[in-house]
Structure 1
């Protein structure tokens, strides 16, 4: 392929930009990384369960980074009723994110039973909103469910929801297993799947010794990574980029002991927004899928979400004449964040 590639308005269909001072630091990084449309997660504190709160958050993001198209979501919760869905749809909210209780950052308000939300899903189906699923179930020692197999156990819920709501667009977020890839590929056109950049590179062996590689869902075995890469390489339009870029203060990524003597666990999340498109291009080239880059970062996701690319928002990347390294840390607004792949070289850089 050419040493220069033009991409029509790359879109990240799963991104965290936090709130407060951290939001001020990381929100501009979305555009800096080559993304023109960003689908924002609602797991703030408190979670975004009301249309008014979502619109206020969107207003804040537009103030910080007006050059990005921000697509907003509600957090699935008892406060999200069918009436709230209709109100949100009228206000331009794109989707609803479901978090099982306690499986990831700020998910303590997550759900335990999908059945009680069927009236909500019916309203979403009618309004054309998207259901985004964090595809894990909570760990359970008695059932031998852990972070290593939580996604596999979730797939039965995905199959049932897809069958019960054939006109509801459903996205299995940040897939990590070969079984998930196979499941999504086997289901109807109402089901799609986002894949992160970091899961195209990580395996459990590279997570275990490095807290900055720790994320939820956890990276799995080499066979699972191979399946994710194969899904991208296939060009199947069901699979597209959702970075799950999730910034945390660098101190919270390292286990620490409080003044009371309690051990604080490592925060889950990999941060890729500042250089996302060059990173994805580098990764896809490494496993022979560079020709699928445009589909993965723009065409496939936009087609599923029905968000067409706008003229004049193309992003041009090229092979750098001088080595480009991921910075060791990013600082500002009183925060320090260590990005994914810190210190490693990227094979591509953004021109415009």
Structure 2
């Protein structure tokens, strides 16, 4: 009887162990993307961030329970957010890693976590040591883990190391990279220890708010409209979009044409407006309920070469607007009394009805 009981207990324990192992094996790995930010002014350090990200990503890919997004995909996605160097240094890209913008960035990459490493400080202190040049290189790094809702789920204490070099023969970046290799080893070990405790992202609150985008092209077209016949507001807006042709992108995805009203979660987003012959408009904007963005578009170098001056572009807008109305069977009166056709071509197929 004792043997039977012992066998039953052992079988249960073994069954639990097998079940536990299988459950652990079936658990989906945590999908994470790695980003590296440079906050230093060290010449050439900006160009090193891609290499640092690649090294960190490759090492983290070896950690059980983690699935790291392809480094090339991360680089391409982040470039969609890149602003000017001045904006980056002022903290604009720090805003990208917070709030609604972080949620959208995680969605674009299809990941649950963002591992954000930062080169906080890098400096070289040079001293004369018995007639020889002694240089002490110092590197300070931080790394934190955020889930898709912007919640910090793990962090490692700031990492600082020094590397003394006597009569340095190579450039400063070569020695900083030696310290980076040490940091990668320590950071991966720390993240591996904590990754089992990372909190799973909660269900996101997908409350979206409306916002409006208009452009200076819309104002130009509005100047043409003196009176319409049987045209409702939606038809008029469609004509402006067709003639204006300005494409609106939010966080790297096309959401429609201006003028228009769109929806997005509140917070920081990357807004881009593009139109043929015009310079693209790109900025990190804060979206709030009923926010309105009136974008002033400027002619590009190609546009200036094509049209020469703004009057020629206006004439083309009038032609496109009238053609769009004609195709839709809409009668529109256009007041062009203050305009001058400098295109040099007669609008043979354009009918402007005047009463």
Taking structure 2 as the reference length, what is the TM-score of the superposition?
0.24
Q: Output the TM-score relative to the length of structure 1.
A: 0.24
User: Which has the larger share of strand?
Assistant: 2
- Bigger relative CO (Cα 8 Å, ≥ 6 apart): 1
